[in-house]
Amino acid sequence: MSAGPAGVEPLYAPTGPGVDPAGFGLLERIHRRGGPGLLDRVRRRRELLALHEAGLIDGRSRLRASGARYLDNVGAGPAWTVTGRYLDSHSTLSLWFGDGGATVLAGPSAEELRPGAVPGIADDAMQRLDLVRSSEAPSTVCAWAGVRPVAPLLAGPAALPLDEFEARAAGRHDGPGPEGLGALWEAPWFVWDVATSDGAMLGFINAGRAGHCAFGVADDGSRGAEVRLAPIDSGRVWRLLAGLVRSGSET
């Protein structure tokens, strides 16, 4: 794993093998069916070779125990999808919760995705597998999203039109931001959200030294959709995610 921005080590370093998105889809099929389909053996030769080299399948394209331990949680219980973006670069972190543990499939982290941090890194070009305990999911997600303890610079709740928010998140903005956003508007934004398989959604902005915000979208019909922002500290982000783990384990 490469160093992040300004020599800061990335907070999250998965320990499992790397797979590309197509390769992971193939691995799931192998897990479900006991092996690749007839066409997969011909058309997906490159992916099968990569999975074999990663130690996830054997020479006959059957799942090895070292691969099965990542797949056993997939589809077994609740799942989270965490998506994040810096400008036009996107990444995803998926978690599947099983019996006490969770499988993680991590695209580039916030610190790796940040423009210029890791030269040549492409969106979701390579994802890494990892295994964590369910109780570690909040720390895993926060570390992936680059959430560090920083005092929020946003003084209080704020709102801006959805179109303006999307333009700012994509870097298609110019001029000063809406009143009250101040340093937050000028900071780099890693916009990320967590969606759980039971329908919960949380949205956040990691604005680096300008701190963190939680956001939600409201549409009361009269003014059009707007994004409502509230400053939040790193501990509160972590505790919200811990609450999702607990509520997921109770359903």
Partner 1 sequence: MTRIPLSAEDLPDGWIQLEAHGSAFAAVLPRPGRPAGIVAVAYAGSMEPGADRLYVVEQSWEEFRGRPARRTDLTRRSSAGEPVFTRRWEVPYSDWMLEVTLSCALEDYPMLGGQFDQFAAGLRLAA
Find the helix or strand (DSSP H, E) in which 90 lies: strand 89-97
Please select the residue that binds partner 1; options are 40, 72, 124, 136, rule is CB under 8 A.
136
Our CB check for partner 1 shows the closer of 47 and 130 to be: 130
Stretch of 21-29, 64-72, 131-139, 184-192 lying at the interface with partner 1 (CB under 8 A): 131-139
Residues 6+ apart with CB under 8 A from 195: 80, 81, 82, 83, 201
Cβ neighbour number for residue 248 with a 10 Å cutoff: 20
Long-range Cβ contact pairs of 64-70 (< 8 A, separation 24 or more): 67/27, 67/31, 68/31, 69/131, 70/16, 70/103, 70/129, 70/131
Kindly state the smallest distance separating residue 133's Cβ from partner 1, in Å. Answer: 5
Among 32, 46, 62, 246, contact with partner 1 (rule: CB under 8 A): 246
Nearest Cα neighbor of 30 from 78, 62, 69 is 62
Of 32, 133, 172, 209, the one binding partner 1 by CB under 8 A: 133
Other Cβ atoms less than 10 A from the Cβ of 142: the count is 21
Least Å from the CB of residue 130 to partner 1: 10
Binding to partner 1 by CB under 8 A, coded x per residue (else -) over 75-114, reads ----------------------------------------
Contact set for partner 1, span 141-170 (CB under 8 A):
142-143, 148-149
HEC assignment per residue over 185-201: HHCCCEEEEEEECCCCE
Cα-based angle 147, 149, 151 (whole degrees, multiple of 5): 115
Q: Does 73 bind partner 1 (CB under 8 A)?
A: no
Residue list 211-240, contact with partner 1 (CB under 8 A): 233-235, 238
Residues that bind partner 1 (CB under 8 A): 11, 132-136, 139-140, 142-143, 148-149, 233-235, 238, 242, 246
